[in-house]
Structure formats: structure tokens, C-alpha cells
């Protein structure tokens, strides 16, 4: 859970930094997107690196879901008779929404790949012009796309708020002072990634990027 989660967080950071290149203009962004497909060339031919990265990500996602499912099934089995009177978990909101939040994020990732990787659900859907795809995606008249994107990114934020802390704890973070630090790191990462991902659709919505 922790190891696959950290791989995915590192990907999220790189992906966000890439997204922010949209503010450098269409030519630069498209150039960056094309470069992504050819990283490692000429050492690795063509899209090899891309597929190695994709394989690592898919393995991480599947491992992450497998671990989460195991934990959820164990939790269910560990309490066969439920409480008649059960208070909501006193721990953070983020901690108690990890499982359903994860499902929402998975659905979003599937949609997101169909939208901006394959272009199937994108109004432009031209893989050679990613900048145009993004601008068309978050156009004001497609407000529901922006809304779904925003909710999903916020779900990712909550997931990381607990997930990053929990991963550090699972990997042996053990002092009270370290716990405070780990919680701050989790909060900063969660808020930072949320803001980094949300500026793009809102820049398109407000016409800053067009």
C-alpha cells in the first residue's frame, strides 16, 4: 500500500509539473507532450520509455487496489456483528473516506485516460495537439467536465492527506515529532497538488489560457 502509493504520488508530482507547462503557450506545451513520448531516445527506441513508465504505473495501481481490497475484506471479516449505535470515526474525514475516495479516483482516472490520452471523449481528440484538447475540454459550456475534474482532484487531495501520512507511518515513521512533520508533509502535498492541478482548468475557464 505504502510503496505503490509513493510511486503514484511521485507520478502525480511529475504530471502536475508537466501540466503547468500549459502556461508557457501552445507550441511549448505541445512540444513537451511530444517529448514525453520519446524520453530516453535514442538510447531506448521510440515509445519504449513511455511503455515502461505505463507498465510501472499500472503495476502500482493494481498493487494498490489489491492491497486496499485485502484490507477492506479483512476489516469486514473482523467485525461480523455490527454496532447498533456507531459514532462516525473520530479520526480525520480523509481517513474515513479512503476507500470510497479511492473508487472515485479510479473512475476519474479511467475517464481521464479516455479524455486526454486516447481522446475518445474529448471534443477535439487530436493526439498531436494536446493543448487544443485541454482548451476544448474545459471550455465554459462544458462546465460539468470542469466540475467533475475539480471534485476528483479534491478527492485526490483528501486521499493524499491521509495516504501520505499513513504511508510514512507504514514505512516506520515512529516518533511523535516525526508524526507532526509527516502530517505537515501530507497536508502540504495534498494542498499543493490540488492547487497545481486545478489552476489549469480554471485558467481555461476564465480565458487565461485559450
Report the interface residues with another protein, using CB under 8 A: 70-71, 74-75, 77-87, 89-92, 95-96, 98, 162, 165-166, 169-176, 178-179
Q: Report the Cα–Cα distance between both ends of the chain, in Å, rounded.
A: 39
**Positive or negative torsion for Cα 10, 14, 17, 19:** negative
What is the Cα–Cα distance from 202 to 139, expressed in whole angstroms?
10
In whole angstroms, the minimum distance from the beta carbon of 84 to another protein comes to 6
Q: Which is nearer to another protein, 175 or 210 (CB)?
A: 175
C-alpha separations of 38 from 15, 35, 55, 164 in Å: 16, 5, 16, 31
Least distance CB 85 / another protein (angstroms): 4
Q: Rounded to the nearest whole angstrom, what is the least distance from the CB of residue 63 to another protein in the complex?
A: 15
Place of cell 480565458: 207
Report d(CA 187, CA 193) in Å as an integer. Answer: 10
80 or 207: CB nearest another protein: 80
Q: How far is CA 202 from CA 27, 98, 159, 189, 192, in A?
A: 20, 26, 22, 20, 16
Nearest to 165 by CA among 148, 146, 184, 151: 184
**Residue 11: φ, ψ to 5°:** -65, -45
Return the number of the residue (2 or 114) whose C-beta is nearest another protein.
2
The distance of closest approach from Cβ of residue 44 to another protein in the complex, given in angstroms and rounded to an integer, is 32
Nearer to another protein, 43 or 78 (CB): 78
Compute the least distance from the CB of residue 176 to another protein, in Å: 5
Of 174 and 210, the one with the shorter C-beta distance to another protein is: 174
User: Cβ of residue 13: shortest distance to another protein, in angstroms?
Assistant: 22
The nearer residue to another protein, 22 or 159, going by C-beta atoms, is 159
How far apart, in whole angstroms, are the C-alpha atoms of residue 204 and residue 200?
A: 6
Amino acid at each position: 500500500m505504502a510503496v505503490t502509493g509513493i510511486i503514484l504520488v511521485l507520478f502525480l508530482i511529475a504530471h502536475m509539473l508537466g501540466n503547468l507547462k500549459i502556461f508557457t503557450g501552445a507550441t511549448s506545451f505541445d512540444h513537451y507532450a511530444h517529448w514525453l513520448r520519446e524520453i530516453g531516445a535514442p538510447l531506448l527506441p521510440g515509445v519504449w520509455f513511455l511503455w515502461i513508465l505505463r507498465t510501472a504505473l499500472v503495476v502500482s495501481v493494481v498493487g494498490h487496489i489489491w492491497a486496499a481490497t485485502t484490507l477492506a475484506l479483512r476489516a469486514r471479516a473482523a467485525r461480523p456483528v455490527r454496532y447498533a449505535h456507531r459514532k462516525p470515526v473520530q479520526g480525520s474525514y480523509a481517513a474515513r473516506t479512503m476507500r470510497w475516495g479511492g473508487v472515485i479516483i479510479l473512475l476519474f482516472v479511467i475517464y481521464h485516460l479516455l479524455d486526454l490520452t486516447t481522446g475518445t471523449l474529448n471534443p477535439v481528440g487530436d493526439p498531436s495537439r494536446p493543448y487544443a484538447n485541454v482548451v476544448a475540454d474545459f471550455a465554459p459550456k462544458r462546465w460539468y467536465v470542469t466540475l467533475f475534474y475539480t471534485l476528483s482532484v479534491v478527492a485526490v487531495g483528501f486521499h493524499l492527506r491521509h495516504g501520505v501520512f499513513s504511508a510514512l507511518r507504514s514505512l516506520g515513521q515512529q516518533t511523535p515529532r516525526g508524526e507532526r512533520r509527516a502530517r505537515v508533509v501530507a497536508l502540504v502535498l495534498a494542498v499543493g497538488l490540488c492547487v497545481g492541478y486545478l489552476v489549469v482548468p480554471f485558467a481555461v475557464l476564465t480565458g487565461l489560457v485559450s
